[in-house]
Amino acid sequence: MPTAREALLDAALRALADRPWRTVRMVDVAALAGVSRQTLYNEFGTKGGLATALIRQAADGYLTGVDRALTAPAPERPAAVARWTVRAADADPLVKGLLTGLWSEGLPEPDRDVPGPAELFGLARDRMAAASHPRSPVRCERALRLALSYVIVPCPPGGAGTQWAEPDSWSPITPMITSEIDTSFSVETTSPRKTMP
Mark whether 27 and 109 lie in a shared domain.
Answer: no
Report the pLDDT value the prediction gives residue 157, as an integer from 0 to 100: 67
pLDDT digits (tens, 9 = 90+) for 84-122: 999 999 999 999 999 999 998 899 989 888 999 999 999
Provide the pLDDT for residue 134.
Answer: 59
Predicted confidence (pLDDT) at residue 128 exceeds the cutoff of 80:
yes
* pLDDT-derived band at 139, boundaries 50, 70, 90: confident
Considering the domain architecture, whether residues 64 and 131 belong to the same structural domain is answered as yes
How many domains does the chain fold into? 2
Of 181 and 60, more confident? 60
Answer for the pair 74, 132: CB distance below 8 angstroms, yes or no: yes
86: in domain: yes
What single letter denotes the amino acid at residue 155?
A: C
CATH number at residue 35: 1.10.10.60
- Measured between alpha carbons, how far apart are the two ends of the chain, in Å? 64
Domain that holds residue 119: 56-153
Clarify whether residues 121 and 147 are in a common domain: yes
Statement: residue 35 has pLDDT above 60: yes
Does residue 168 fall inside a structural domain?
no
CA torsion sign for 17, 20, 22, 24 is negative
Summarised one tens digit per residue, pLDDT across range 177-187 is 444 444 433 44
User: Which residue, 89, 90, 21, 25, is CA-closest to 51?
Assistant: 21
33 and 81 both lie in a single domain: no
